[in-house]
């Protein structure tokens, strides 16, 4: 016997309480995060400890900051392959200037200015010279990595007392738990990114440009400002992520953050942001970052699996979420 058809009232109620289709990838990412964490909690003792959850933020604070900047770029229909190299360049600038005796404040300003200028330069090239974002940011990737080697080919340790205190400091939480100051910085960046995207004219224009640049032009929106601005934001976030990574490792090295741009892109896409732009949430990016961290923690708790399973899992998840995005957009068209 065939199953009885649902009544119109029941169907309407299901649609009412179901999340909108555009939020399905984000919902799927959050559900998968909860599922993997639940499986780890059932299988491994101590996996469900609140400090383990907090450590996901501690170990991935720099990636969250990087992901926020990448979210802006992908939402606007672009891509930024330079962010990993900018992170490495930021660690080198920080380590070398601190070694030369610069105060921490001057070092931080120098790093943020360098990353912002590099991001703005790529944005200008992309918009005004009509260069594909892939090519422009690939050039930026080689430029930033090359500048690292001009500074030094060796690792430079960071011994500055101020940055060391920041790196080793803790922020106490109720129940005897703690996070690091880097987590506080990352959460502030996350909150600012969410506010800009969802509550400002600039953020709404980012979505409009990513949805259809030609339509945004016809609507009289400031397309040039947005296309250049998202790369400026990405450069700034990359520089700040580099400072957090320098504090995390207490060193500057030319080979830091190799492939980190791919982790950032994966976190954004797994978090539900459409690769072609126009749809996504910063909250999804956080879910993507935590999902990658949870997979790594799961493998660490197991102890018998190779660390390469992290990359394999990320690759499989990325492919699945891209297919989901494709199916959803095809149905809507």
First-to-last alpha carbon distance for the chain, in angstroms, is: 35
* Window from 6-10, 44-48, 196-200, 208-212 with minimum mean pLDDT: 6-10
Helix axes of 83-99 and 104-128: crossing angle, nearest 10 degrees: 150
**CATH number attached to the domain at 23-332:** 1.10.3470
In sequence order, the β-bridge partners of residue 177 are 173
In tens, the pLDDT along 198-248 reads: 999 999 999 999 999 999 989 999 999 999 999 999 999 999 999 999 999
* pTM, 2 dp: 0.91
Pick the more confident residue, 208 or 15: 208
Asked whether the beta carbons of 108 and 242 are under 8 A apart, the reply is no
Q: What is the mean predicted confidence (pLDDT) over 49-73? A: 96
Give 332's pLDDT tier (boundaries 50, 70, 90): low
């Amino acid at each position: 016997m065939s199953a009885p058809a649902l009544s119109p009232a029941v169907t309407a109620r299901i649609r009412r309480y179901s999340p909108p289709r555009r939020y399905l990838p984000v919902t799927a990412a959050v559900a998968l995060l909860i599922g993997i964490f639940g499986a780890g909690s059932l299988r491994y003792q101590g996996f469900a400890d609140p400090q383990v959850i907090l450590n996901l933020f501690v170990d991935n604070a720099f990636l969250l900051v990087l992901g926020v900047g990448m979210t802006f770029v992908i939402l606007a229909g672009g891509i930024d392959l330079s962010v990993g190299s900018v992170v490495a360049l930021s660690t080198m600038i920080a380590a070398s200037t601190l070694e030369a005796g610069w105060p921490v404040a001057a070092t931080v300003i120098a790093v943020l200015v360098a990353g912002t200028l590099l991001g703005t330069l790529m944005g200008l090239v992309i918009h005004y010279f009509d260069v594909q974002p892939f090519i422009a940011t690939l050039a930026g990737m080689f430029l930033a990595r090359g500048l690292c080697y001009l500074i030094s080919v060796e690792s430079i340790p960071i011994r500055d007392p101020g940055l060391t205190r920041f790196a080793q400091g803790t922020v106490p939480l109720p129940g005897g738990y703690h996070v690091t100051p880097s987590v506080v910085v990352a959460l502030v960046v996350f909150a600012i990114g969410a506010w800009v995207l969802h509550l400002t004219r600039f953020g709404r224009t980012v979505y409009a440009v990513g949805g259809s640049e030609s339509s945004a032009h016809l609507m009289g929106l400031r397309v040039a400002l947005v296309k250049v601005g998202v790369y400026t934001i990405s450069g700034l976030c990359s520089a700040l992520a580099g400072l957090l990574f320098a504090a995390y490792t207490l060193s500057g090295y030319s080979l830091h953050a190799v492939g980190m741009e791919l982790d950032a892109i994966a976190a954004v896409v797994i978090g539900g942001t459409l690769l072609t732009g126009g749809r996504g949430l910063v909250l999804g990016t956080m879910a993507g970052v935590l999902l990658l961290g949870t997979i790594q923690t799961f493998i660490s708790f197991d102890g018998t699996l190779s660390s390469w399973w992290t990359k394999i899992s990320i690759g499989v998840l990325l492919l699945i979420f891209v297919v989901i995005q494709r199916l959803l957009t095809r149905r809507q068209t």
